[in-house]
Structure 1
Amino acid sequence: MSPEPTHDVVVVGGGAAGLSAAVALARSLRSVAVVDAGEPRNAPAAGAHNLLGREGVPPLELLAAGRREAEQYGAEIVTDRAVTARAGEHGFTIGLAGGGELRARRLLLASGLVDELPDVPGVAELWGRSVLHCPYCHGWEVRGRRIGVLGAGPMSVHQALLFRQLSEDVVFFPGRMADPGAEAWEQLDALGVRVVEGPVQRLRLEGDELRAVVLDDGQEVPVDAVVVAPRFVARADLYEQLGGTLTEHPVGELIATGPMGSTAIPGVWAAGNAGDLSAMVSAASGAGLVAAAAINADLVAEDAAAAVRARAAV
């Protein structure tokens, strides 16, 4: 016999999705623990944007407020890393890096994703500040400035077009990417996007400031911001330990989800970037809420069925 659960739900991940789920679950009087390793993806950014009522709020400030809100309704915040997961008769057991474990009837994976950045010196150092990927997250902040787009694949041309909306000074560096085709080149040319051929060697920095893109031949192209196309890979070790398989996506790998965040593993949900590589903060928060509602409904149905069986046994 496996031990009885210590919680109704364990949420892995203390970002917007996980904390939103925790608030909703706790408000439904569910015992919920959030395991938070303290590594939010957007920590380098100065502000979270397109978040109604909290536009530009510093990400860490937003998460601190979310933790307080979850705790005021009775959710438990566990500052640790979830490293193991196994399924049992009564639900799931989550092992923690710091020792100990949590047992829950249901599991919500809100563990986010990893940005696999181009191997170009300077990119990682300025990621989330003057090295960007999303025009909706950071485009306003670089409007009208000199923007370089590093070619990596078909999405890179799309990025160049999106950032051209924000600035008349956009330079595209195709590097070694495959030829995107005549139509793409025609669009860039018609919009006045300058194309600079040759492999990119590095970004030139002065302290924390971006100054230029440097090519292998030594040529320097002055820029104020650089746009890259990372590969997005869901943090899904626990899902794979439980027997799940990641789904390939044109820009990475994710946990495939059905309606309201359900996964292929019964009793396991996913929300936020783990299941939606493009989810911004507001979308991740909404996905956490929707998943929480589904989990609560699932538990309500299970409890009702158990009550019927118990009455029939009397």
Structure 2
Amino acid sequence: MAEPIALTALALDAAFGWPRALYRRIGHPVGLFARIIDGCEARWNRPGYSFALRRALGILTLLALLVLVAGSGWALQHLLLASLGGWGWIGVAILAWPALAQRSLFDHVRTVGERIDASDLSGGRTAVGMIVGRDTAELDESGVARAAIESLAESFCDGVAAPLFWLLLLGLPGVWAYKTVNTADSLIGHREERWRAFGWAAACFDDLANWIPARLAGLLLCLAGGGGWRVLWRDARKHASPNAGWPEAAMAGALGLRLAGPVAYDGVMHDKSWIGDGASEAGGDEIDHALAVYLRACLLLWLIAGGALWLR
């Protein structure tokens, strides 16, 4: 039943995203994961603890959360399929729906493009600051546009391809276990001294969980963009992450842009390698082009889910 579940979840997300009314009333499941992780980090990631103890407590935090989330997902899926019979998969699809982010990612990036098109650089910085972790206050128009495009490419994996992959493979427990790991990595899976030990497990699990989806995302973006293969094979490994470089290099190649490069986090400049060829200048037109590639790549994921259903 995984495939009709996946197609229905994709359709719900494409049509509605995660409605603001729902967000105001109940929040989002990822927010609950974040609160649990933040609470454990505040309690257990103490400077006075040894590196080994903090790493062990980070592993314990992640495993406990995975057992809770995957176990709850399995129980709910089993209950719905057993109690509702042939209609139970619809309930499972509704519960899987918030794990996908096709619509919200498109809307966030489109907002950045609209601000740039309106010559509202300040608004563009604010809008892109909602989806990237880098410093945005000093970005020029090209910097804002590139940041939005990079986030679109990377989040195509984290927010769409990878959740769908794990939903198809392991159902409801699989997709929410993935979102747990991905949330933990975004919060604590950093190399800075504070998180290096406690977030080690989150970073490693996230790398493993995204290994196949990231490469699939890169291939799909090249197919959707009608090219970019040379840049994909050449530059995917230039990224510090073993996975994020694949969709980013694919998008850079498909658009004929240079992405990445030097970037500031918390006031500290990091001299990252450039990914891609061509100009580093970008604006609203490039964001529109990137969104068109993204939409076609999402449609290819729909075809994959539909193909899996047909094969079953």
Q: TM-score, normalised by structure 1?
A: 0.22
Q: Which has the larger radius of gyration?
A: 1
- TM normalised by structure 2 equals 0.22
Greater fraction of residues in strand = 1
More helix by share: 2
